[in-house]
Structure 1
Amino acid sequence: MTKAFRFYETGGSDVLRFEDVTLGTPGEGEVLLRQKAVGLNYIDIYFRSGVYPAPSYPAGLGLEGAGVIEAVGDGVTDLSVGDRVAYAAQPLGAYAEARIMPAKGLVKIPDDISFELAAGAMLQGMTAQYLLRRTYKVQKGDTILIHAAAGGVGQIVCQWAKHLGATVIGTVGSPEKAEIAKAKGCDYPILYRDDVVSERVMDITKGQGVDVVYDSVGKDTFDDSLKCLKRLGMMVSFGQASGAVPPIEMSKLAPGAYFLTRPSIFQYTATREELLATAQDLFDVLKSGVVKIDITATYPLADAAKAHDDLEGRKTNGSIVFTV
C-alpha cells in the first residue's frame, strides 16, 4: 500500500484526493519506482482542470519525478534495482510515493545531480532543449522572445539561449521578476502589464523584430506575439496558461510569411534514442554550469493542492518540487 493523488472529476485544486493505492508487481518492460521527489508543472493544472483530457477516471496526476528502482519486470535490460532515475513521461501518476512505471520513459541520473534537481529539471529542461535546439535551432546572433521569462522554462531558456549567443528579450509580470530574468541572462525584460510587448520589441530591435517567439501563455499573448516577429520568423506556441488560442486564419501569417508550430515534449522524446539524447544534452549543460536551475519552492507531496493554488496565483517562479 502506498499513497497517491487521484482526481475523479476536473475542476479546481479541491478535486485532488490523496488516497491509499495498491501497487502490483512490475510487468513486461516496467519497473517499481520508489519516488524521492516530484516536479510541479503547469501542465498538471491543464490536466486537473480539464484543458487536457485525462485518459480515464479516476486519474493520477503529474508527469515528472525522480527516485530509486526497487524492482524490474521482464524485458528490462538497461535498468537495474538500485538505479537512480528520473523521468518526464506519460502515463500520468507522478504525484505518488511509489509507482509502476514503463522503463522506456526513465533515464539514469548522473551521480552529481540530486533527486530534487532532477525532478525539477526534467520536464522544463527537456522542454527548453527541444525549443532551442530542435524546434527553432538558436544560433549566435539570433534575437529571441521568451514569454514568462522568470518562470521555470523561461529561466532555463534565458540561460541556454544566452550561452548560444542569442540576444534574449523576455516578458515578466513585476519588477522583482524582471530582476530574476535579468540575472538568468535576459537582456531586455519587458513588464507586460506596463508596456505593449510588440511595441517594446520593435523598439529594442530597431523595427526588425525577433527570429523566434517562444509563447507558453496562449490566448492573451498570441496575436501580439505575431507582431514581434521579423520576416520569416517562427512563432512557437508551446503552452496556454491564459487559455487556448482561438482558431486562427492562416492569413495572419501572411504579413511576414511567418512559421507557426505547436510542439509537445512527448513528440520530441517519442523514441528511446530521442529521450536519451535530449536528457544527455540537458545533463551536460547542468553539469557544466551553463544552466543553473533554482528550486525556488518545495512542498510536501501531501500539500499538492496548496502548491497548485500558488502556481495558478502567480506566487511562484522558477522550479517547484514536491518532497516524498
Structure 2
Amino acid sequence: MTQATTHAIRIHRIGGPEVLQWEVVTLPPPAAGEVRLRHHAIGLNFIDTYHRSGLYPLPLPSGLGMEGAGVVEAVGEGVAEVRVGDRVAYTNGPLDAYSEARNIPARHLVVLPDELSFEQGAAMMLQGITAQYLLHSTYPVRAGETILVHAAAGGVGSILVQWAKLLGATVIGTVGSDEKALRARALGCDHVIVYSRESFPERVRALTGGEGVAVVYDSVGRDTFLGSVACLRRRGTMVSYGNATGPVAPFDCALLHKAGSVFVTRPGLPDYIATRDELVARAASLFEVVRSGKVKVEVMQRYALKDAAQAHRDLEARRTTGSTVLLP
C-alpha cells in the first residue's frame, strides 16, 4: 500500500487556540498492528485544551485529539481486531484524532453498532466510557444514594446524570447558567444549583438534611475542589476527574479527616481501559444503554475540523453544552 496525503491539526508550540494549525500531512502505509482510519467525526474534549495549553505536556510538534469514529480503509500485518470497511470508534491511543485520516493501533478500536451514528460514536467514547467507569468502578453508585454532579449539562456530566438516574440515584447537578439549568433538569437532575449565584455546599447540605452526598463527581477542578469536599457525607468519596478551571491546589491531608474521614481519588481513563478486554467491556456497557434509549448522547455543536481553534474558544468560554464534534 502506498503513502497518502491528508490534512490534520498540528501544534508546534503550546498556548491558546491560535497555536492550532491546519496542515497537509503524509500518512505512510499502516505498520504491523495498525489500521488506516478515515474519520467521519471527531470528539472535542476538555483534555484537548490541556494538551494544547501545556497543562498536560506533550513532545512537540504533535497532533491533538483522543477520540473519533470512521471507517477502516486498510490494515497492517497481523491485525485481527477489525477488517477493512468496518465502522469503528475509539478513544485513547496516540494523539491524532484531529485529522481527516490517520494510522492507529487496531487494539484501540471497537466496532460501532449500526444503530449508532459516526457523530454519536465520536461524541460518546471518551465521555461515555469515562461516565461508565466513574459510576461503576471508581465509586459504584447504588440505588437510593444522593450524588452531586458538577457541570451537569456538559459532555460527561450529561451522561453521568442520565446513567445515575438509571441506577436509582438522586442527582444534584451544578451548572453555570439558567439555560444550562433547564438542560440539566431535562436530563433528569432532581435538583439543580446555579453555582454562579448560589453556594453549592450550603445548598447540598440543605437538600440532604445536613447529611451530605455519597459521592461528588467533579470535572471543574481548582474552583470547586474544597467546596466539593464540604458536600460529602461521612466517609463519602470525592472524585476529581478534570481541571476545567485549572489543577487542584496542594492541600493538607488532615482536611479529609476533618471533613468526615472522606476519600479523594483522581482517576484517569487509561487506567480503566488498560487492557483490550476492559476497553471492549466498558464500550459494550456504554453502547447497550445508548442503544436502549435510556441514556442519550446528543451532539449539541458541530464545527468543521479546520475550525478547531474556534471550537476550543467556545469550549473554554463555557459556550457549549452536551457533546461537540469536529467534522472533516
1:244 matched to 2:242: no
- Partner residue, 1:206: 209
Deviation at 1:28, TM superposition (A): 1.3
Work out the CA distance in 2 between the residues paired with 1:232 and 1:273: 32
Work out the CA distance in 2 between the residues paired with 1:284 and 1:211: 26
What secondary structure sits across from 2:297 in the alignment?
coil
One-letter code of the match for 1:111? D
Residues 176-208 of structure 1: per-residue CA shift (max 9 Å, x gap): 111100000111110101111100000000000
Residues 234-256 of structure 1: per-residue CA shift (max 9 Å, x gap): 00000011011011111010021
Residues 11-64 of structure 1: per-residue CA shift (max 9 Å, x gap): 00000111000000111111000111000000000000011011x211100001
Deviation at 1:290, TM superposition (A): 1.1
Match of 1:92 among 80, 92, 95: 95
1:10-159 matches, within 5 Å, as 10-54=14-58, 56-159=59-162
Work out the CA distance in 1 between the residues paired with 2:122 and 2:244: 21
1:270 matched to 2:274: yes
- Structure 2: tracts of 5 or more residues without a match: none
1:164 matched to 2:167: yes
Spell out structure 1 runs of 4+ moving beyond 2 A.
Answer: none
With 75-84 and 208-217 compared, the bigger mean Cα shift is at 75-84
Work out the CA distance in 2 between the residues paired with 1:31 and 1:281: 25
Deviation at 1:303, TM superposition (A): 0.6
- Partner residue, 1:306: 310
- Structure 1: tracts of 5 or more residues without a match: none
What secondary structure sits across from 2:27 in the alignment?
coil
Residues 210-269 of structure 1: per-residue CA shift (max 9 Å, x gap): 000000011100001000000010000000110110111110100211111000011100
- Partner residue, 1:192: 195
One-letter code of the match for 2:285? D
Equivalent pairs: percent with the same residue?
57
Work out the CA distance in 1 between the residues paired with 2:298 and 2:192: 19
One-letter code of the match for 2:97? A
1:6 matched to 2:10: yes
Work out the CA distance in 1 between the residues paired with 2:91 and 2:192: 29
Work out the CA distance in 2 between the residues paired with 1:77 and 1:309: 40
Work out the CA distance in 2 between the residues paired with 1:235 and 1:117: 29
One-letter code of the match for 2:249? P
Contact 2:88 2:111 in 1 (8 A): yes
Work out the CA distance in 2 between the residues paired with 1:137 and 1:290: 19
1:255-266 matches, within 5 Å, as 255=258, 256-266=260-270
What secondary structure sits across from 2:220 in the alignment?
coil
One-letter code of the match for 2:82? L
Task: Give the TM-score normalised by structure 1.
Answer: 0.99
One-letter code of the match for 2:271? Q
Task: Give the TM-score normalised by structure 2.
Answer: 0.98
What secondary structure sits across from 1:158 in the alignment?
helix
Work out the CA distance in 1 between the residues paired with 2:65 and 2:117: 19
Work out the CA distance in 2 between the residues paired with 1:300 and 1:86: 19
Query: Size of the alignment, in residue pairs?
Result: 323
What secondary structure sits across from 1:22 in the alignment?
strand
Residues 111-135 of structure 1: per-residue CA shift (max 9 Å, x gap): 1101011001111100100000110
One-letter code of the match for 1:271? T
One-letter code of the match for 1:11? G
Contact 2:89 2:122 in 1 (8 A): yes
Match of 2:287 among 278, 283, 286: 283
Work out the CA distance in 2 between the residues paired with 1:239 and 1:306: 21
Deviation at 1:78, TM superposition (A): 2.2
Deviation at 1:90, TM superposition (A): 1.9
Work out the CA distance in 2 between the residues paired with 1:81 and 1:25: 14
Work out the CA distance in 2 between the residues paired with 1:51 and 1:90: 19
Match of 2:180 among 177, 181, 184: 177
Match of 1:322 among 290, 303, 326: 326
Work out the CA distance in 2 between the residues paired with 1:232 and 1:210: 10
